[in-house]
Amino acid sequence: MLTLDQLIAEATALPDADKAILIDKLTASMDEQRTASKTATIPPGTLTQLRGIAKRSSQTPSDEELQAEYTDYLAQKYQ
């Protein structure tokens, strides 16, 4: 296994075409590592635990009731 200093010495001694190939391989490797670390997995059971979290305890209000509540809210807000 090469040390970092040995690797740098070897890389700087390469011909330009080989340096370009080395750069391409290194950037591809870094891109793979970056995308692999970005993909977070959701632990099993998380979504099933959230089922019903937004469910109302009472019946869903009608459009007219929602409009009346919103009108009352705005009237109180801008008094």
Identify the three-state secondary structure at position 33: helix
Two tokens, residue 23: 């750069």
pLDDT value of residue 19:
96
**Cα separation values, 26 from 4, 11, 65, Å:** 14, 12, 61
Note the pLDDT of residue 35.
81
Phi-psi region for residue 15, left (φ > 0), alpha (ψ -120 to 50) or beta?
Answer: beta
How confident is the chain (79 residues) per 10-residue block, as mean pLDDT? 91 95 95 78 81 82 94 94
- Structural domain spans, the chain: 4-37
pTM above 0.75, yes or no: no
